Structure formats: structure tokens, C-alpha cells
Amino acid sequence: MTSEKTLFSKIIDREIPSTIVYEDEKCIVINDINPKARVHLLVIPKKPIATLFELTPEDKDVMGHMMLLLPQLAQAQNLEGFKTQINTGEAGGQEVFHIHIHLLGN
């Protein structure tokens, strides 16, 4: 069985270049290539979960981990506030089918 690697898995595996802002054993944070705000980060789990619809109870840890990271990332970028967005499914505007949290701030 062959399974196509997601764009973000290729970034995680350094097959495609990107600006990596933060990385740990569970997730990676990169600059969005087409920023919609002064700061536009993507927080991406290393596990290639396609959309929020595919989440299972075993993903609670990584999803909680990423939520806890958001305010730390914002503070590191000197943001006093920020917006988050998770596009889900084609109908929800999702383009890359590997879960990611957008963190936006000016």
C-alpha cells in the first residue's frame, strides 16, 4: 500500500524548505508562505491527521499540547492578542489535508 506524504510531512522531514519557528517531538511551527497578518504561523502535529473529522481520543494529548503552545508562541512574537483558525474539510476552506492551527496577529 502506498500513501502519499502530505505537504506538511514533507516539510517536517526537511524534503521541502520552510521557516521553522519551533519544533518538538509532537509538533512543528512554521511561517505561513502566504501570510494574512504580520505574524502568521501554522502549528502542525507531526502525526499526519487529515482533518478534525479524523481525530480520535488518542489525539487528545497532541491537540492539547498544541493549544498550550499557542499563547507561548504569541508571546514570543510580542503579540498582545491573536486569532486562531482551523479550516476543516473542503467545504471549510481547507487546502492542506494535514491538521494545522493558524495563529494570526498584528
Enumerate the active-site residues: 100
In angstroms, the CA 68 to CA 55 distance is: 18
Stretch that binds ligand AMP, among 20-28, 64-72, 73-81, 86-94 (CB under 6 A): 86-94
96 near ligand AMP, rule: CB under 6 A: yes
Residues of span 55-74 touching ligand AMP by CB under 6 A: none
In angstroms, the CA 89 to CA 53 distance is: 8
Within 13 Å and on the Cβ side, how many CA atoms surround 97? 8
Residues that bind ligand AMP (CB under 6 A): 7, 16, 18, 30, 32-34, 42, 87, 93-96
